[in-house]
Every structure is written in structure tokens, then in C-alpha cells.
């Protein structure tokens, strides 16, 4: 097959990323994660934008160097148009436009949420691919959606969060427990040694395919305040059980919604994506669902779950082959719909 190098650029939140893909295979995948937000306990948009400005040129250079190609070898430039933080998106969008214009190659806009789903089509050694139609559950710090995927570019959001994203539920609960940002992976770590039934938290009631996580955060806060009044060392002495109980509630809630989606659509091919896909509880629950419910489940390699540019590049390639190009007057769109 002839080489067809496509550069993907991702700058929607706090990761500056660039990747090169060639006929479905990732030849380089570079991510500069911004550490600056750690001390603030969450992403600070203005600081994210500034860090993208510093990172973007070196990150793209590194992606080209690792791919062992020259910029003149690129067939197209794909970039994240949205959704995301405006100041962050602007950096990647402007850079991609200039580079495409300078090299006189097509510019391709990518929807970040579609990219999380189409990351399943990046070629890897062991990977099975979801068959259309499938249900995608995208779970991260910025999004929580259930999407019915009929084809590469035929997607319908059938459920989503009405307030916080699931990753925020993990991170905000972790913050209440005094854990550093982002707390999701730490909640997961402690949960593995705890009793998931130690402290029951109620699952918020919304539509069958929608989510709400703001109530859970408040429930955790009141619970911790109440128990700490009785025992100042409550969190320290029961951290594993608290984390296990929070994680159990969240995972059970996600699985309830997936079951509703399967019931409503009759589709049992389930693909997940987004940073929270790393969670051991959701992974185990999906494996159990394969055995008990006859679902077929797909989890991408971890580096393609969290925010990355390889997923932008694969969408770029699919759009390049379909000749779906953007004009130079395209604008970054913070609340871009599917």
C-alpha cells in the first residue's frame, strides 16, 4: 500500500498532542500532559491555552521525528475543532490551518467525541474491531455519553450527562477525600482493596439513558462531613472502603445505563472510550457482562482511551479517504455537537 501520512493535532483540554498515522497504523503518538493544573486541583483554562502555545511546535516536531518523516511527506492535517475549551482549541486550530496552508495540503476538522469512538479503528496487534451498529460509552473528565454508531460518520447521541462528567465525579469525590488531582486513578487504586458495599450511596434518578453526577458529589461531601464529626480520622481509617463504595456506585450506574441502551436498541456490541475506561471496576463489569449477558465488549489500548492525537489522526484518515475537507475559514467550536 502507498504511504499516506496524516498528522493529527489535539488541543481541546489540557493535553497538547500530535500523532502521525499511515494507513490505519500509528507511526508516532506524542502527548505533552500539562502538569501546571495539578496545584489548582483542576484544569485552569487560561493556563491550558498558554501551555498549548508553548508545547505545540515541539510536540509536532517530535511526532514528525518519531515517525521518521519530513513535513513535506504529510498528505493532510487533521485537528480537533471541538468540543473543548475555546482558548485551548484555538491554539490547535490556528496551528493546523497555518501548517495546511503552508504545505498546501487538505485541512480536516475532527469532532473530539467522534474521535474517542473511532479510536477503536486504529490498527493494533491484538485488537478486535467493533461491528456496526454498536453502542459507544464515552467516559472521561469532560464527557459522558452513550452513542449509537451506525457507521463511521453516522452517530447519534442517545444519552448523556445532565451535569458533571463521570471523571469529574471521580475527581471531585477524590478531592473531598483529600486526594490530589486527578483523583480518579487513586480512587481506583484504593477501591481495589476495599469493600464496595461498606457505604451505600444512592444512584441519581434521571431518564433511562441519561446521567447525573452532581448529587453523588454532594452525597459524598455530606457523608464525609458527618462521619468526620464523629471520628476526625474517619477518612484516613476507612479510605479503601469509601473509595470502593464510590466506585461501585458509579460503575453500577454506568452499567445500568448500558443495559437500558441494549434493551432499547437491541445492540449488544459495546465499545467504551475516554480516560475513565482505565478504571478496573468498569473493565471487570464489562468482562462480566460478556459472560453473563452475551455482550461483545471493546476497550481500546490505554493510550488511545485518554486524550490523544492518534484518535484525531485516524478520523483524519477516514475523512481524507472520503474527501471530507475543511475550508480555511473554519472556526474552533467549544460546544461542537456530534
**What is the contact surface with ligand KG4 in residues (CB under 6 A)?**
13, 140-142, 167, 170-171, 182, 184-185, 188, 274-276, 278-279, 306-307
Please provide the distance, in angstroms rounded to a whole number, between the alpha carbons at the two ends of the chain: 32
Helix (H, G, I), strand (E, B) or coil at 210: coil
Which stretch, 77-85, 123-131, 136-144, 284-292, contacts Zn ion (CB under 5 A)? Answer: 136-144
Strands 269-273 and 296-298: parallel
Question: Shortest approach of Zn ion to residue 142 CB, angstroms?
Answer: 5
Question: Shortest approach of ligand KG4 to residue 180 CB, angstroms?
Answer: 11
Report the candidate in 314, 277, 321 with the shortest Cα–Cα distance to residue 120: 314
Q: What span, in angstroms and rounded, lies between the C-alpha atoms of 70 and 185? A: 37
Report the candidate in 272, 333, 323, 337 with the shortest Cα–Cα distance to residue 119: 272
Q: What span, in angstroms and rounded, lies between the C-alpha atoms of 305 and 135? A: 16
Instruction: Identify the H or E element spanning 96.
Output: helix 86-103
Tell me which of 22, 93, 140, 297 binds Zn ion, using CB under 5 A: 140
Q: Which does 182 bind (CB under 5 to 8 A by kind): ligand KG4, Zn ion, none?
A: ligand KG4
Pick 114 or 279: Cβ nearer ligand KG4: 279
Binding of Zn ion at residue 111 (CB under 5 A)? no
Question: Shortest approach of Zn ion to residue 123 CB, angstroms?
Answer: 21
Strands 269-273 and 134-139: parallel
Question: CA angle, corner 166, sides to 238 and 42, nearest 5?
Answer: 80
Q: What span, in angstroms and rounded, lies between the C-alpha atoms of 111 and 113? A: 6
Binding of Zn ion at residue 307 (CB under 5 A)? yes
Pick 106 or 275: Cβ nearer Zn ion: 275
Pick 63 or 186: Cβ nearer ligand KG4: 186
Pick 140 or 249: Cβ nearer Zn ion: 140
Write the binding mask 248 to 287 for Zn ion: x where contact by CB under 5 A, - elsewhere: ----------------------------------------
Pick 252 or 303: Cβ nearer Zn ion: 303
Give me the residue label for grid cell 475506561.
277
Q: Which does 82 bind (CB under 5 to 8 A by kind): ligand KG4, Zn ion, none?
A: none
The site for Zn ion (CB under 5 A) is made up of 140, 307
Amino acid at each position: 500500500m502507498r504511504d499516506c501520512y496524516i498528522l493529527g493535532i489535539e488541543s481541546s483540554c489540557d493535553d497538547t498532542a500530535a500523532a502521525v498515522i499511515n494507513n490505519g497504523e500509528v507511526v508516532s503518538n506524542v502527548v505533552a500532559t500539562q502538569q501546571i493544573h495539578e496545584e489548582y486541583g483542576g484544569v485552569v483554562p487560561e493556563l491550558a491555552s498558554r501551555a498549548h502555545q508553548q508545547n505545540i511546535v515541539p510536540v509536532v516536531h517530535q511526532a514528525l521525528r518519531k515517525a521518521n518523516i519530513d513535513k513535506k511527506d504529510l498528505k493532510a492535517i487533521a485537528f480537533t475543532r471541538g468540543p473543548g475549551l475555546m482558548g485551548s482549541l484555538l491554539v490547535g486550530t490556528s496551528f493546523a490551518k497555518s501548517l495546511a496552508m503552508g504545505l498546501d495540503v487538505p485541512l480536516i476538522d475532527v469532532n473530539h467525541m467522534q474521535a474517542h469512538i473511532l479510536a477503536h479503528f486504529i490498527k493494533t496487534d491484538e485488537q478486535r474491531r467493533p461491528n456496526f451498529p454498536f453502542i459507544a460509552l464515552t467516559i472521561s473528565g469532560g464527557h459522558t455519553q452513550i452513542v449509537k454508531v451506525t457507521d463511521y460518520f453516522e452517530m447519534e447521541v442517545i444519552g448523556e450527562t445532565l451535569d458533571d462528567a463521570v471523571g469529574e465525579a471521580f475527581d471531585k469525590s477524590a478531592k473531598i477525600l483529600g486526594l490530589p488531582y486527578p483523583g480518579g486513578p487513586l480512587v481506583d487504586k484504593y477501591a481495589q482493596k476495599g469493600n464496595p458495599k461498606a457505604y451505600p450511596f444512592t444512584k441519581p434518578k434521571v431518564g433511562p439513558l441519561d446521567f447525573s453526577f452532581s448529587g453523588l458529589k454532594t452525597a459524598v461531601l455530606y457523608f464525609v462531613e458527618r462521619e468526620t464529626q464523629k471520628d476526625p480520622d474517619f477518612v484516613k481509617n476507612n479510605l479503601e472502603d469509601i473509595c470502593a463504595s464510590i466506585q461501585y456506585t458509579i460503575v453500577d450506574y454506568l452499567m445500568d445505563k448500558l443495559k437500558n441502551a441494549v434493551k432499547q436498541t437491541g445492540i449488544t456490541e459495546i465499545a467504551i472510550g475516554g480516560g475513565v475506561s482505565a478504571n478496573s471496576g468498569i473493565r471487570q463489569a464489562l468482562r462480566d457482562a460478556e459472560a453473563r449477558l452475551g455482550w461483545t465488549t471493546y476497550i481500546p489500548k490505554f493510550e488511545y482511551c485518554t486524550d490523544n492525537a492518534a484518535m484525531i489522526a485516524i478520523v483524519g484518515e477516514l475523512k481524507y479517504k472520503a474527501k471530507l475537507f475543511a475550508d480555511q475559514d473554519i472556526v474552533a467550536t467549544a460546544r461542537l455537537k456530534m
